[in-house]
Amino acid sequence: MIHVLAMITAKPGKRDEILTHMRANIPAVLAEDGCLAYGPATDTPDAGAIQTPIGPDSFVVVEQWASLDALRAHAAAPHMKAYGAATRDLVASRVIHVLTPAT
């Protein structure tokens, strides 16, 4: 299994616009072979001292894939290319962590 944490920072005030595009794309991603989980997450309000906030312009996409091949196919999927084109000018930065469960 592969875990992915994609940390996205939108240009100021553009996070909701990116999330609208993402929500429209989620059904196609979840239908991909090997997709086990895929969805955006934002700061939990009032989490207190245990939280390091990511901020009002950021969100994290939490993903699980059955294999690295499934993740690679996802990255090359036409709907992901369309999502990337639709959001390219809205994104300030993107950092992707591809992780394997520690044993």
CATH of the domain at 36: 3.30.70.100
What one-letter code names the amino acid at 86? A
Asked if residue 50 belongs to a domain, the reply is: no
Copy the structure tokens of residue 59. 């969100």
Residue 31: pLDDT band with limits 50, 70, 90: very high
Q: For residue 93, what pLDDT band results from cuts at 50, 70 and 90?
A: very high
**44-78 pLDDT, tens per residue?**
999 999 999 999 999 999 999 999 999 999 999 99
pLDDT tens readout for residues 70-88: 999 999 999 999 999 999 9
Alpha-carbon span 99 to 97, nearest angstrom: 6
User: What pLDDT shows up at residue 53?
Assistant: 94
Distance separating alpha carbons of residues 96 and 4, to the nearest angstrom: 7
Q: Is the pTM of this model over 0.85?
A: yes
Strands (E), the chain: 2-10, 35-41, 58-65, 91-99
| Residue numbers of the domain that contains 95 | 2-43+56-99
Is 8 a domain residue?
yes
Question: Is residue 25 domain-resident?
Answer: yes
Number of domains in the chain: 1
Domain assignment present for residue 51? The answer is no
pLDDT at 69: 98
Structure tokens at 76: 């090359």
* Structural domain includes residue 62: yes
Q: Please, what sign has the CA dihedral across residues 100, 20, 94, 31?
A: positive
Residue 12 to residue 57: CA distance in whole angstroms? 6
